[in-house]
A and B are shown apart, each in its own frame.
Chain A
Amino acid sequence: MAWLAGSRLLPPASHVVRAMLDLALHGDLLVNLGITLLRVAGAFVLAMVVGSAIGMALGIWRRLDLAFDSWLTILLNLPALVSIMLMYVWFGLNEPTAIIAVALNKLPSTAVTLREGARALDRSLLEMARCYRMGRWAVLRHVILPQLTPYFFAAARSGLAIIWKIVLVVELLGRSDGVGFAIEQYFQLFDVTAILAYTLAFILVVQAIEWGGWQPLEHWTNRWRR
């Protein structure tokens, strides 16, 4: 492995950082990153909203769970590559298909996580809500959703990581822009520095979302805890 060190196949960190800044200022990095982030955001919102709704429904209604449990297992175990290719073949190489294909890969695990949360709902509080005749919407908002918050955060964190990885595959297979497309081009040139520069840029964005997004949000939703 010694031959790797110092070669252009394993560039030092300083080179990667410099390449990242260079690509950001003079190259397409920011454009590609922006396009990929939009796809990530679209797929993330879609997977979280639909996955959470399905998961909650399955957790609350036992019969629904029995009917759809095996479907969830199939989706959960379907390789990302297969689902992406099938979506492209069936619905064409276009933007909505790309986003739905990504969302489809995150959706089942979100549903499974939220299903666990919905199964663990505190019945005593639901009884209280019933005694006091809280409306359906009020029960959802004030009794059910606050109990699901930790599950929601767990799904969101792992979701962002999975989605970003899958978006690159989707871009590589069927898009002509975005980080995945760019990385594939640098791969043709064996330009490891540029590949790592793109990776670093995205990791920085995800870390910023963690610090500036999830952590303050989680802190805020947990303000009632001791």
Chain B
Amino acid sequence: MGRVAAFGALDQSVAAVILEVTIRRKTFPGTREPVLADLAFALGAQEIVALVGPSGCGKTTLLRLIAGLDQAFDGKIVWPSQNAPSQDGQAPSGDAPPRLGMVFQEPRLLPWRTVWQNLALVLPPGQEAAAAALLERLGLWAERDSYPSRISLGMARRVAIARAFAVAPALVLLDEPFASLDASNAELGRAVLLDAWAARPTAALLVTHDLTDAAALADRVLMLAGRPARIVADIPIAASERRGDRTSVAQLAAHLRDIQEKSVISDS
């Protein structure tokens, strides 16, 4: 999968590119086989891209590279400067990453701070009112003074999603945000995510092994497979099929599953 093809798949209505990822090689210390190799894609402003692939294929690793949590790799993460937001008054500059919202596999809330404090501590100046409105909208306002240990896991995950969108990010990275939730809580989580996104449209990169997540949320689906992992399919979702009702999501998920099975077969 070359870079040109990746750019070609960008939706026409989303012309501005906010992120270009080029990974030539990512190897963990002490191992010989790279986890990721020859992988490139771009992300448009306000585009929701799902990155799907089997567990352990390197999706989380890729997300960590983009988040800047792991800088030991051969390749480039570029944030085209013209689109870096300057909400905090800073001039956008070259390769400096814009503000990111991150939703980890676990909520990663500070257990000794309340729900509201967890948000307030990471907010850029002047975002308090918008953050409060977001909590209200996501049905979390009543729990604003609760400590994370006193709310359910599903709710803690929703707080983590609220936190990611509350910081007025240019890009939200989500790492299996609905893993270990039952089906109805996962559906609620997806609804919350879309709601947060509607309140605060940003680019989002969603890592998931669940094709239902991808079908319910994404504008575009990137399929990762192989060892080292590469992008084996780049599937734009037609505007009419995006974020449909439960039946159309199920159909789309089935369609994606077909593509995944074929691409894995042709890859091996």
Contacts and interface: CB of A to CB of B under 8 A. Distances in A.
Interface of A: 124-125, 127-128, 130-134, 138, 142-143, 146, 221, 223-226
B265 interface: no
A128 B164 CA distance: 11
A131 B67 contact: yes
A124 B106 contact: yes
Contact of A132 (B113, B122, B150): B122
A226 B150 CA distance: 7
B129 interface: no
A69 B32 CA distance: 35
A125 B110 contact: yes
A146 B106 contact: no
Contacts of B67: 131
Contacts of A130: 68-69
A146 B112 contact: yes
B150 A128 contact: no
Given A128-B102, A224-B149, A226-B149, 15 more contacts: A127-B69, A128-B108, A132-B122, A134-B121, A134-B122, A138-B121, A142-B121, A143-B110, A146-B110, A221-B112, A223-B147, A224-B111, A224-B147, A224-B148, A226-B150
Interface in B66-124: 67-69, 99-100, 102, 104, 106, 108, 110-113, 121-122
B167 interface: yes
Nearest to B102: A131
B69 A131 contact: yes
Contacts, number: 47
B102 A132 contact: yes
A128 B147 CA distance: 18
Interface in B160-184: 163, 167
17 contacts: A124-B106, A124-B108, A127-B69, A131-B67, A131-B68, A131-B69, A133-B122, A134-B121, A142-B110, A143-B110, A146-B110, A146-B112, A221-B112, A224-B113, A224-B148, A225-B111, A225-B149
A142 B68 CA distance: 22
A87 B111 CA distance: 44
A174 B99 CA distance: 60
Given A131-B69, A133-B99, A224-B149, A124 B111 contact: no
Nearest to B106: A124
Nearest to B105: A124
A125 to B, nearest CB: 6
Nearest to A226: B149
A210 to B, nearest CB: 23
B221 to A, nearest CB: 24
Contacts of A224: 111-113, 147-149
A136 B116 CA distance: 21
A128 B149 contact: no
Residue with the greatest number of chain A CB neighbours at <10 A, chosen from B106, B111, B149, B150: B111
Interface in B134-175: 147-150, 163, 167
B200 to A, nearest CB: 15
Nearest to B99: A133
Nearest to B121: A142
A214 to B, nearest CB: 18
B113 to A, nearest CB: 6
Residue with the greatest number of chain A CB neighbours at <10 A, chosen from B69, B106, B122: B122
A134 B100 CA distance: 12
B34 to A, nearest CB: 22
A224 B145 CA distance: 11
Contacts of B148: 224
A133 B69 CA distance: 12
A125 B147 contact: no
Contacts of B102: 128, 131-132
